[in-house]
Chains A and B, each alone.
Chain A
């Protein structure tokens, strides 16, 4: 018997303007999550968005993300944004409890779960 398997994985063929488009369309939701939900300042949120942009461009060129549809890429981006916002706010609190109950409740939630809510909001706004 001489069966043979495939040696080489297909490289990512996604165009950079597709990535730009997914990021730009998500930016309003990300910004409002960082500022309104996670209570980052405007300046902190802008810094976060710059980092997220750099990271997202590379995410889209990874082995498993190169062919993924825009929606799944967006969910990954929103999830990263929520993790960023949560980590930053926890760092600012320095181990103290958040005085604000809404913020405390948000910080207690999993970032992926919050990202799911944001994605639904994104879809609703565009439907």
Chain B
């Protein structure tokens, strides 16, 4: 007969002291933290819990910083093996920090790293008391990553099971969030009308239940879907509803996405100069957020518009800025072929417009 001997009496910080300690940790340079572990209460579960909460909140404003912090915490907890908290808390914090790192990687388009972090997260969460809840959150991130990799059929196949899990676990907001993937799959399949129907349903339920974050994100997707159809009034109405909520939440990714969506609408409506301005605003926000892949995708979109306006020199500059970033990403053969054509035409100073469109079309789908 055997059994793991659990650690007993422990005097943790209060939750308020944990929040204070977490702020101090984040204010301390990474390189100085290990030496100050005790002073910073870095091994205290209250500190770690508060840190995870703060990093979750930061995902929409600073994914690169979330990745750096989450990776530091994971490594800190993992090796040398530290006794953290009571019962399953060490496993939970390993799972949670890895999930944060994986999610941040997904936002930063670092796909291979995202999958590795998701595997690490599963390894931690599997040993927790509330494994179904935590593993369901992880499953959502994995499906979102699959959507971004355009594995649409698999996403559609697995979604109902995940929604059911969240419903059984009494997590209605997470269940509703899953429907985003359904709406986005419609957009990926070039079915904006079906997407609009899904996002309108999400808006209705989110408004009724007071899920503001979901409501704002649904409006953003409505801007995009209506923009694709050139439905100006509906897109502008959706942006009018989204912006105050996003400002209230300091959701800078969301605000950047609004500008991107308005850019689509303006382009579809033939207002090319204004469309470029709107894309530029989105690009500036993504630059600040460290979302280089999105910046590069917008370089290509803007280049295409500049060519349409006959501004080929400026278009070349946009493409030249984007190519090194795109080269860093793992692309499928069709993406690589388009990239090679654009590279060659750029070298010859005669841009192959079709190749550019294929590349940015492919690249944006890869991003999203």
Contacts and interface: CB of A to CB of B under 8 A. Distances in A.
Interface in B291-339: none
Interface residues of B, number: 75
Interface in B25-63: 45-46, 49, 52-53, 56-57, 59-60, 63
Contact of B214 (A6, A55, A61, A108): A6
B173 interface: yes
Contacts of A57: 15
Contacts of A107: 1, 3
A25 interface: no
Residue of B4, B86, B261 with most chain A CB atoms under a 10 A cut-off: B86
Interface in A35-68: 47-48, 50-51, 54-55, 57-59, 61-65, 67-68
Interface stretch (A26-34, A80-88, A119-127): A80-88
Given A5-B217, A64-B171, 12 more contacts: A3-B187, A4-B221, A5-B181, A7-B253, A7-B254, A8-B251, A12-B53, A58-B45, A64-B137, A68-B133, A84-B6, A95-B1
Nearest to B148: A5
Interface residues of A, number: 45
Given A58-B49, A76-B129, A11 B365 contact: no
Interface string B128-150: 01100110110000001001100
A67 B173 contact: yes
Nearest to B2: A90
A21 B227 CA distance: 49
Contacts of B4: 87
Interface of B: 1-6, 8-10, 12, 15, 45-46, 49, 52-53, 56-57, 59-60, 63, 85-89, 92, 96, 99, 107, 129-130, 133-134, 136-137, 144, 147-148, 169-174, 177, 180-181, 183-184, 187-188, 190, 195, 211, 213-214, 217, 220-221, 224, 227-228, 249, 251, 253-254, 257, 260-261, 264, 361, 364-365, 368
Nearest to A79: B129
A65 B89 contact: no
A50 B257 CA distance: 48
Contact of B53 (A2, A3, A4, A11): A11
B88 to A, nearest CB: 8
